[in-house]
Amino acid sequence: MSLDVHLVPLLQDNYGHLILDRAAGVAGIVDPAAAEPMLAALAQHGLPLAWVLVTHHHTDHVGGIPALRAATGCKVVGPRADQQRIPGLDLALGDGERFAFGSTSAVVLDVPGHTSGHIAFWFDQDQAVFCGDTLFSLGCGRMFEGTPPQFWGSLAKLRALPPETRVYCAHEYTASNGRFARSVDGDNPDLLARLDDVARLRALGQPTLPSTIGLERRTNPFLRADVPSVARAVEADAADPITAFAALRRAKDRFQ
Ligand SMILES: [Zn+2]
Protein backbone atom coordinates (compact mmCIF):
# COMPACT_ATOMS: atom_id res chain seq x y z
CA MET A 1 0.00 0.00 0.00
CA SER A 2 1.42 3.35 -0.98
CA LEU A 3 -1.41 5.70 -0.06
CA ASP A 4 -1.20 7.56 3.25
CA VAL A 5 -4.49 9.29 4.17
CA HIS A 6 -4.97 12.20 6.60
CA LEU A 7 -8.40 13.46 7.65
CA VAL A 8 -8.67 17.24 7.88
CA PRO A 9 -11.77 18.66 9.63
CA LEU A 10 -13.37 21.48 7.61
CA LEU A 11 -16.36 23.75 8.25
CA GLN A 12 -18.85 22.26 10.74
CA ASP A 13 -18.57 18.54 10.13
CA ASN A 14 -16.84 18.00 6.78
CA TYR A 15 -13.64 16.09 6.26
CA GLY A 16 -11.26 16.89 3.46
CA HIS A 17 -8.77 14.12 2.84
CA LEU A 18 -5.09 14.70 2.22
CA ILE A 19 -3.67 11.71 0.37
CA LEU A 20 0.06 11.18 0.10
CA ASP A 21 1.99 8.84 -2.13
CA ARG A 22 5.42 9.12 -0.56
CA ALA A 23 6.98 6.64 -2.99
CA ALA A 24 6.09 8.88 -5.90
CA GLY A 25 6.45 12.12 -3.93
CA VAL A 26 2.99 13.54 -4.67
CA ALA A 27 -0.02 14.70 -2.67
CA GLY A 28 -3.72 14.89 -3.48
CA ILE A 29 -6.73 16.39 -1.74
CA VAL A 30 -10.24 14.92 -1.86
CA ASP A 31 -13.32 17.19 -1.59
CA PRO A 32 -11.85 20.43 -0.22
CA ALA A 33 -14.67 22.43 1.36
CA ALA A 34 -12.06 25.07 2.19
CA ALA A 35 -8.46 25.67 1.16
CA GLU A 36 -6.59 27.06 4.17
CA PRO A 37 -6.74 24.04 6.51
CA MET A 38 -5.87 21.76 3.59
CA LEU A 39 -2.85 23.91 2.67
CA ALA A 40 -1.73 23.87 6.32
CA ALA A 41 -1.98 20.06 6.41
CA LEU A 42 -0.16 19.81 3.07
CA ALA A 43 2.67 22.03 4.32
CA GLN A 44 3.42 19.58 7.14
CA HIS A 45 4.43 16.92 4.63
CA GLY A 46 6.45 18.85 2.08
CA LEU A 47 4.97 17.16 -0.98
CA PRO A 48 3.63 19.01 -4.02
CA LEU A 49 -0.13 18.98 -4.56
CA ALA A 50 -0.68 17.23 -7.87
CA TRP A 51 -4.45 16.71 -7.88
CA VAL A 52 -7.71 17.72 -6.25
CA LEU A 53 -10.22 14.87 -6.49
CA VAL A 54 -13.90 15.86 -6.49
CA THR A 55 -16.79 13.47 -5.82
CA HIS A 56 -19.68 15.85 -6.54
CA HIS A 57 -20.65 19.44 -7.18
CA HIS A 58 -21.85 20.61 -3.74
CA THR A 59 -20.16 23.73 -2.40
CA ASP A 60 -18.90 21.97 0.72
CA HIS A 61 -16.86 19.68 -1.56
CA VAL A 62 -15.55 22.13 -4.14
CA GLY A 63 -15.31 25.46 -2.26
CA GLY A 64 -11.56 25.25 -1.74
CA ILE A 65 -10.65 24.47 -5.33
CA PRO A 66 -9.96 27.99 -6.70
CA ALA A 67 -7.64 28.90 -3.82
CA LEU A 68 -5.87 25.52 -3.93
CA ARG A 69 -5.35 25.86 -7.65
CA ALA A 70 -4.07 29.42 -7.32
CA ALA A 71 -1.70 28.48 -4.48
CA THR A 72 -0.29 25.27 -5.96
CA GLY A 73 -1.09 24.97 -9.67
CA CYS A 74 -2.74 21.59 -9.00
CA LYS A 75 -5.10 19.90 -11.45
CA VAL A 76 -8.67 18.86 -10.72
CA VAL A 77 -10.36 15.52 -11.50
CA GLY A 78 -14.07 14.88 -11.10
CA PRO A 79 -17.24 13.35 -12.51
CA ARG A 80 -17.81 13.47 -16.24
CA ALA A 81 -21.57 13.37 -15.70
CA ASP A 82 -21.38 16.66 -13.79
CA GLN A 83 -18.56 18.48 -15.53
CA GLN A 84 -20.77 21.51 -16.35
CA ARG A 85 -21.46 22.04 -12.65
CA ILE A 86 -17.84 21.76 -11.49
CA PRO A 87 -15.95 24.64 -13.04
CA GLY A 88 -12.32 24.14 -13.91
CA LEU A 89 -12.13 20.36 -14.17
CA ASP A 90 -8.92 19.31 -15.92
CA LEU A 91 -9.95 15.67 -16.15
CA ALA A 92 -13.50 14.29 -16.23
CA LEU A 93 -13.92 10.56 -15.60
CA GLY A 94 -16.80 8.11 -15.48
CA ASP A 95 -17.65 4.63 -14.31
CA GLY A 96 -14.89 2.05 -14.60
CA GLU A 97 -12.19 4.45 -15.76
CA ARG A 98 -8.88 4.47 -13.92
CA PHE A 99 -7.35 7.60 -12.42
CA ALA A 100 -3.54 7.44 -12.15
CA PHE A 101 -2.15 9.02 -9.00
CA GLY A 102 1.58 8.82 -8.29
CA SER A 103 2.57 5.17 -8.17
CA THR A 104 -0.98 3.99 -7.59
CA SER A 105 -4.42 4.50 -9.13
CA ALA A 106 -8.15 4.55 -8.41
CA VAL A 107 -11.10 3.05 -10.21
CA VAL A 108 -13.86 5.62 -10.68
CA LEU A 109 -17.31 4.38 -9.69
CA ASP A 110 -20.48 6.21 -10.73
CA VAL A 111 -22.58 6.33 -7.56
CA PRO A 112 -25.58 8.61 -8.26
CA GLY A 113 -28.36 9.21 -5.74
CA HIS A 114 -27.27 12.08 -3.49
CA THR A 115 -26.52 14.00 -6.68
CA SER A 116 -26.97 12.76 -10.22
CA GLY A 117 -23.29 12.99 -11.14
CA HIS A 118 -21.66 11.66 -7.96
CA ILE A 119 -18.55 9.48 -8.26
CA ALA A 120 -16.37 7.57 -5.81
CA PHE A 121 -12.63 6.94 -6.10
CA TRP A 122 -11.74 3.34 -5.23
CA PHE A 123 -8.00 2.88 -4.71
CA ASP A 124 -8.22 -0.87 -5.09
CA GLN A 125 -4.52 -1.60 -4.53
CA ASP A 126 -4.59 0.54 -1.38
CA GLN A 127 -7.92 -0.82 -0.09
CA ALA A 128 -9.51 2.61 0.27
CA VAL A 129 -12.60 4.28 -1.16
CA PHE A 130 -13.47 7.99 -1.10
CA CYS A 131 -17.23 8.05 -1.41
CA GLY A 132 -18.16 11.70 -0.76
CA ASP A 133 -21.78 11.97 0.40
CA THR A 134 -23.07 8.72 -1.09
CA LEU A 135 -22.20 6.43 1.81
CA PHE A 136 -21.68 7.61 5.38
CA SER A 137 -20.81 5.45 8.33
CA LEU A 138 -24.17 4.07 9.52
CA GLY A 139 -25.97 6.19 6.93
CA CYS A 140 -26.10 7.58 3.42
CA GLY A 141 -26.52 11.01 1.86
CA ARG A 142 -29.86 12.67 1.34
CA MET A 143 -31.48 11.80 -1.98
CA PHE A 144 -31.39 15.29 -3.51
CA GLU A 145 -31.20 14.43 -7.21
CA GLY A 146 -31.41 10.68 -7.65
CA THR A 147 -34.05 7.99 -7.52
CA PRO A 148 -34.32 5.00 -5.18
CA PRO A 149 -33.23 2.50 -7.89
CA GLN A 150 -30.17 4.66 -8.65
CA PHE A 151 -29.25 5.16 -5.02
CA TRP A 152 -29.74 1.51 -4.07
CA GLY A 153 -27.66 0.52 -7.09
CA SER A 154 -24.88 2.85 -5.95
CA LEU A 155 -24.94 1.50 -2.39
CA ALA A 156 -24.99 -2.08 -3.68
CA LYS A 157 -21.93 -1.27 -5.81
CA LEU A 158 -20.05 0.09 -2.79
CA ARG A 159 -21.23 -2.80 -0.60
CA ALA A 160 -19.70 -5.24 -3.11
CA LEU A 161 -16.17 -3.85 -2.64
CA PRO A 162 -13.79 -6.04 -0.62
CA PRO A 163 -14.75 -5.96 3.09
CA GLU A 164 -11.33 -4.71 4.20
CA THR A 165 -11.72 -1.56 2.05
CA ARG A 166 -11.42 1.55 4.24
CA VAL A 167 -14.35 3.93 3.76
CA TYR A 168 -13.49 7.63 3.79
CA CYS A 169 -16.73 9.64 3.93
CA ALA A 170 -16.89 13.41 3.66
CA HIS A 171 -18.82 14.08 6.90
CA GLU A 172 -18.65 13.16 10.57
CA TYR A 173 -22.29 12.08 10.86
CA THR A 174 -21.79 8.67 12.47
CA ALA A 175 -23.22 9.44 15.92
CA SER A 176 -26.42 11.03 14.62
CA ASN A 177 -26.78 8.34 11.93
CA GLY A 178 -26.38 5.79 14.71
CA ARG A 179 -29.50 7.01 16.51
CA PHE A 180 -31.59 6.26 13.43
CA ALA A 181 -29.76 2.97 12.81
CA ARG A 182 -30.60 1.82 16.33
CA SER A 183 -34.28 2.65 15.75
CA VAL A 184 -34.53 0.23 12.81
CA ASP A 185 -31.85 -2.36 13.67
CA GLY A 186 -31.56 -2.22 17.45
CA ASP A 187 -31.20 -5.98 17.90
CA ASN A 188 -28.05 -6.09 15.77
CA PRO A 189 -25.10 -6.80 18.11
CA ASP A 190 -22.57 -5.52 15.58
CA LEU A 191 -24.44 -2.21 15.45
CA LEU A 192 -24.58 -1.93 19.24
CA ALA A 193 -20.84 -2.60 19.47
CA ARG A 194 -20.16 0.03 16.80
CA LEU A 195 -22.32 2.57 18.67
CA ASP A 196 -20.24 1.97 21.80
CA ASP A 197 -17.06 2.57 19.78
CA VAL A 198 -18.54 5.73 18.23
CA ALA A 199 -19.55 7.15 21.62
CA ARG A 200 -16.06 6.47 22.98
CA LEU A 201 -14.32 8.04 19.97
CA ARG A 202 -16.51 11.15 19.99
CA ALA A 203 -16.02 11.62 23.73
CA LEU A 204 -12.30 11.75 22.97
CA GLY A 205 -12.88 14.16 20.07
CA GLN A 206 -11.64 11.50 17.63
CA PRO A 207 -13.03 10.82 14.14
CA THR A 208 -15.19 7.73 13.69
CA LEU A 209 -13.68 7.31 10.23
CA PRO A 210 -12.44 5.58 8.26
CA SER A 211 -14.93 2.79 8.55
CA THR A 212 -14.65 -0.33 6.42
CA ILE A 213 -16.98 -1.86 3.87
CA GLY A 214 -17.21 -4.97 6.05
CA LEU A 215 -18.25 -2.96 9.10
CA GLU A 216 -20.81 -0.96 7.11
CA ARG A 217 -22.24 -4.14 5.62
CA ARG A 218 -22.88 -5.43 9.13
CA THR A 219 -24.13 -2.19 10.71
CA ASN A 220 -25.38 0.39 8.17
CA PRO A 221 -29.17 0.09 7.76
CA PHE A 222 -29.01 1.56 4.24
CA LEU A 223 -26.78 -1.34 3.17
CA ARG A 224 -29.17 -3.72 4.95
CA ALA A 225 -32.44 -2.84 3.18
CA ASP A 226 -32.54 -6.47 2.05
CA VAL A 227 -32.30 -7.82 5.60
CA PRO A 228 -35.84 -8.90 6.66
CA SER A 229 -35.80 -7.36 10.15
CA VAL A 230 -34.52 -4.00 8.84
CA ALA A 231 -37.07 -3.86 6.00
CA ARG A 232 -39.87 -4.82 8.42
CA ALA A 233 -38.92 -1.93 10.70
CA VAL A 234 -40.06 0.47 7.96
CA GLU A 235 -43.00 -1.75 6.92
CA ALA A 236 -41.26 -2.87 3.74
CA ASP A 237 -40.31 -6.22 2.24
CA ALA A 238 -36.66 -7.30 2.11
CA ALA A 239 -37.40 -9.07 -1.17
CA ASP A 240 -37.89 -5.61 -2.71
CA PRO A 241 -34.78 -3.80 -1.46
CA ILE A 242 -35.31 -0.71 -3.63
CA THR A 243 -38.67 -0.03 -1.99
CA ALA A 244 -37.22 -0.90 1.42
CA PHE A 245 -34.30 1.47 0.82
CA ALA A 246 -36.72 4.25 -0.20
CA ALA A 247 -38.76 3.65 2.97
CA LEU A 248 -35.59 3.78 5.10
CA ARG A 249 -34.50 7.01 3.42
CA ARG A 250 -37.93 8.60 4.02
CA ALA A 251 -37.94 7.43 7.64
CA LYS A 252 -34.47 8.90 8.19
CA ASP A 253 -35.56 12.23 6.66
CA ARG A 254 -38.37 12.41 9.23
CA PHE A 255 -36.32 11.08 12.15
CA GLN A 256 -35.70 13.42 15.06
ZN1 LIG B 1 -23.24 16.70 -0.98
Q: Give Cα 92 distance to the centre of its chain.
A: 19
Is 237 annotated as catalytic?
A: no
Give 10-residue mean pLDDT values along the chain (256 residues).
92 96 96 97 96 97 97 98 92 98 97 98 98 98 97 98 98 97 98 98 97 98 98 98 98 94
Q: Which of 31, 61, 82, 118 is catalytic?
A: 61
Instruction: Please choose, from the candidates 4, 6, 73, the residue with its C-alpha nearest in 3D space to the C-alpha of residue 38.
Output: 6
Set 17, 31, 57, 60: catalytic member? 60
Sort strands 128-132 and 135-136 into parallel, antiparallel or unpaired: unpaired
What are the φ and ψ backbone dihedral angles of 116, each rounded to 5 degrees? -75, -25
Active site residue 171: yes
Instruction: Characterize the bridge pairing of strands 166-169 and 139-140.
Output: unpaired
CA distance 253 to 104: 38
Determine the pLDDT at residue 251. Answer: 98
According to CATH, the topology of domain 3-254 is Metallo-beta-lactamase; Chain A (3.60.15)
3-state secondary structure of 196: helix
Question: Side chain identity at 12, as an amino acid letter?
Answer: Q
Backbone φ and ψ of 243, nearest 5° = -65, -40
CA of 187 to the centre of ligand 1 (A): 31
Task: Confirm if 150 and 114 have CB atoms less than 8 A apart.
Answer: no
How much distance in Å is there from the Cα of 24 to the middle of ligand 1?
A: 31
Helix, strand, coil fractions of the chain, as percent rounded to 5 = 40, 25, 35
Task: Judge if pTM exceeds 0.85.
Answer: yes
Using a CB cutoff of 8 Å and minimum separation of 24, what contacts does 225-228 make?
A: 225/152, 227/185
Phi-psi domain of 109 (left: phi exceeds 0; alpha: psi -120 through 50; beta: other): beta
Active site residue 56: yes
The alpha-helical segments, DSSP class H, found in 170-225 are: 174-185, 189-203, 213-219
Those residues whose beta carbon sits under 5 angstroms from the ion ligand 1 are: 58, 133
Spatial separation of the C-alpha atoms in residues 251 and 163, rounded to whole Å: 27
Identify the pLDDT of residue 1. 64
State residue 256's pLDDT score.
81
240 belongs to the catalytic site: no
Rounded to whole angstroms, how far apart are CA atoms 239 and 11? 40
The one-letter amino acid at 253: D
